[in-house]
Amino acid sequence: MDQRDEQEFAEYFVARREAVRRTAYLLCGDWHRADDFAQTAFVAVHRRWRKIRDKQALDAYVRRTLVRAVIDESRRPWRREKFTDELPESPASDHEIGDAVATREALMKGLRRVPPRQRAVLVLRFLEGLDVTATAEVLKCSEGTVKSQTARGLTALREALGDAIDDLRPAS
Amino acid sequence: MDEQKLADLFRDAAHDAPPASFDASDVRIASRRATLRRRNSIAAGTTLVVVLGFGGVVAGMNWIGQDKSSSSVLGSGQADDNKAQSPQTGSATALEAQPPQSDFPGDPSTQGDGSTPGSTGLSTSDRAVQGCAGVDRELADALAGELSVSPEQAQPPTVTCSPDSRSAAFKIDGLTITAIVTPRPFEAPAGAEKVRTAKGQDLYVFTQGDGQLKSQARRFADALAPRF
């Protein structure tokens, strides 16, 4: 890339790095791995910077690369996610930390128990704020699939959280 | 369920992010490294394809060449049992294309493949087709010794005889002395001396013309008979 392209990429990187890191964190639940996934996505964009004519589609390209990287990683045998009731680290009691932190911890634990693809749908819709059409575009699937994955993801999240977060209880 | 509250929960969960462990320069370095790795893999793949293709072509040409050479060997008229007859079949492929060697050095060959021991000069190929049309070198040597002349002066007789006969003639000062060894009946000219040879064949010696040795045909016949 020439100097101008490098400058454009640097500006885009500064503007989007933290958002991409947060998305990666909710997808994988670990900041170190989130940085790896985010860097992988930015490297992919940097390598194809001159080939991407529509700069407005950069965000979609980064999201797609990120989600694919996380899902692919979760499928690898040595990274395959296992659902277990016993966590490797015993959580601190709720009275030792604030309610906000407890809610955050509960949400992250619940997300870890949601299957990767459903988790990606939830993150894209509720963190990134994408609608069904945009989410389907990022995941390269139909809108019906996005809707069904959203419903199943929320159900799995509710089951994982139990009564930890009242806001996720289905409206009766 | 309030989607807005759920969105707030998601944003709040990822709110307190630690400092990033990478920056733009790290991305650039990793990008260049990945590009270089991809180019190297493409170059290695291309090289492998070229090497395999070249090796395949060379192997194919060798295979075709071997096929042709084996076909030419089989078509050279040499039967497989010739290899068993040859006492020196160290390299069957090399020897197959050559005429078979004679197992018995003393046996006169009729294939024109070598000289007969005891004879000098003219090859036996001449004798194979001649009868009295050519000079038998062994007989010429013996007769030249009796005449005290050079064997190189030998010449074919002017008479005809059977193809399995051996003959030689010398012309000395207008006198032609001819010797013929034949296993078959021979109509010799008048004055010819006939003697039985050691091998049971008939030796005829006669002279034509006029010269000092005209009356000595019998002496030459007696001298040559034990040798044939």
Which chain A positions have a beta carbon within 8 Å of B9's beta carbon? 103-104, 107, 126, 165, 167
Q: Look at residue A148 and tell me if it is in a domain.
A: yes
Same domain, residue pair A1 and A76: yes
Chain A 131-160, CB below 8 Å of chain B: which residues?
A: 154
A-B contacts (CB, under 8 Å) = 78
Q: How many CB atoms lie within 10 A of CB A63?
A: 24
Domain holding A129: CATH number?
1.10.10.10
Same domain, residue pair A65 and A109: no
pLDDT tens profile B97-130: 454 454 454 444 455 444 444 444 444 444 444 6
Q: Under an 8 A CB cutoff, do A168 and B26 touch?
A: no
* Residue B9 C-alpha, separation from nearest chain A C-alpha, in angstroms: 7
Task: Give the domain-ending residue among A49, A80, A111.
Answer: A80
Q: Under an 8 A CB cutoff, do B10 and A165 touch?
A: no
Q: Under an 8 A CB cutoff, do A170 and B1 touch?
A: yes
Identify which of B172, B176, B179, B108 has the alpha carbon closest to the alpha carbon of residue B142.
B179
Residue B76 has pLDDT above 80, yes or no: no
Residue A104, pLDDT score: 80
Which helix (H) or strand (E) segment is B208 a member of?
strand B202-209
DSSP string, A11-23: HHHHHHHHHHHHH
Q: Look at residue A152 and tell me if it is in a domain.
A: yes
Residue A168, pLDDT score: 56
Nearest chain B residue to A13 by CA distance is B24
More confident residue, A86 or A24: A24
Across the interface, of A47, A100, A129, the residue whose CB is closest to B12 is A100
Burial A19-48 (b: 16+ CB within 10 A, else e): bbbbbbbbbbbebebbbbbbbbbbbbbbbe
C-alpha B19/C-alpha A82 separation (Å) is: 29
Provide residues of B within 8 Å CB-CB of chain A: 1-3, 5-7, 9-15, 17-18, 20-22, 24, 26-28, 30-31, 34-35
Name the pLDDT band for B46 (thresholds 50, 70, 90): very high
Task: State how far the alpha carbon of A121 is from the alpha carbons of A32, A167, B151, in Å.
Answer: 22, 19, 116
Q: Look at residue A91 and tell me if it is in a domain.
A: no
Same domain, residue pair A3 and A73: yes
Q: Please provide the average confidence, as pLDDT, over all residues in chain B.
A: 76
Per-domain residue ranges of chain B: 23-71, 124-227
* Residue A83 C-alpha, separation from nearest chain B C-alpha, in angstroms: 21
Q: Look at residue A85 and tell me if it is in a domain.
A: no
Rg (CA), chain A: 18
Name the pLDDT band for B55 (thresholds 50, 70, 90): very high
Same domain, residue pair A69 and A120: no
Task: State how far the alpha carbon of A20 is from the alpha carbons of A63, A128, B119, in Å.
Answer: 8, 10, 107
Which chain B positions have a beta carbon within 8 Å of A42's beta carbon? 27
Q: Is the ipTM of this complex over 0.85?
A: no
Tokens 């180019």, residue located: B39
C-alpha A73/C-alpha A7 separation (Å) is: 31
Domain that holds residue A111: 99-164
Q: Under an 8 A CB cutoff, do B1 and A167 touch?
A: yes
DSSP string, B89-156: -SSHHHHHTSPPPPS-TTSPPSS--SPPTT--SS-HHHHHTTTTSS--HHHHHHHHHHHTS-GGG-B-
pLDDT tens profile B77-93: 444 444 444 444 444 44
Same domain, residue pair A63 and A122: no
**Are B112 and B124 a contacting pair, CB within 8 Å?**
yes
Q: Look at residue A87 and tell me if it is in a domain.
A: no
Q: Which of A19-33, B66-80, B106-120 has the lowest mean pLDDT?
A: B106-120
Q: How many CB atoms lie within 10 A of CB B51?
A: 10
Q: How many domains does chain A have?
A: 2
CA quadruple B57, B62, B63, B68: dihedral positive or negative?
A: positive
pLDDT tens profile A99-136: 667 778 888 888 888 888 999 999 999 988 899 999 99
Which chain A positions have a beta carbon within 8 Å of B14's beta carbon? 22-23, 25-26, 127
Task: State how far the alpha carbon of B198 is from the alpha carbons of A152, B132, B227, in Å.
Answer: 121, 21, 7
Task: Give the domain-ending residue among A20, A46, A80.
Answer: A80
**Are A123 and A26 a contacting pair, CB within 8 Å?**
yes
Residue A93, pLDDT score: 54
Residue to substitute from A43, A66, A122, A124, interface B, most B β-carbons within 10 A:
A43
Q: Look at residue A123 and tell me if it is in a domain.
A: yes
Same domain, residue pair A136 and A64: no
Q: Look at residue A73 and tell me if it is in a domain.
A: yes
Residue A135, pLDDT score: 92
- What pTM, to 2 d.p., does this model score? 0.51
C-alpha B179/C-alpha B141 separation (Å) is: 11
Name the pLDDT band for B96 (thresholds 50, 70, 90): very low
DSSP 8-state class, residue A56: G
Residue A167, pLDDT score: 55
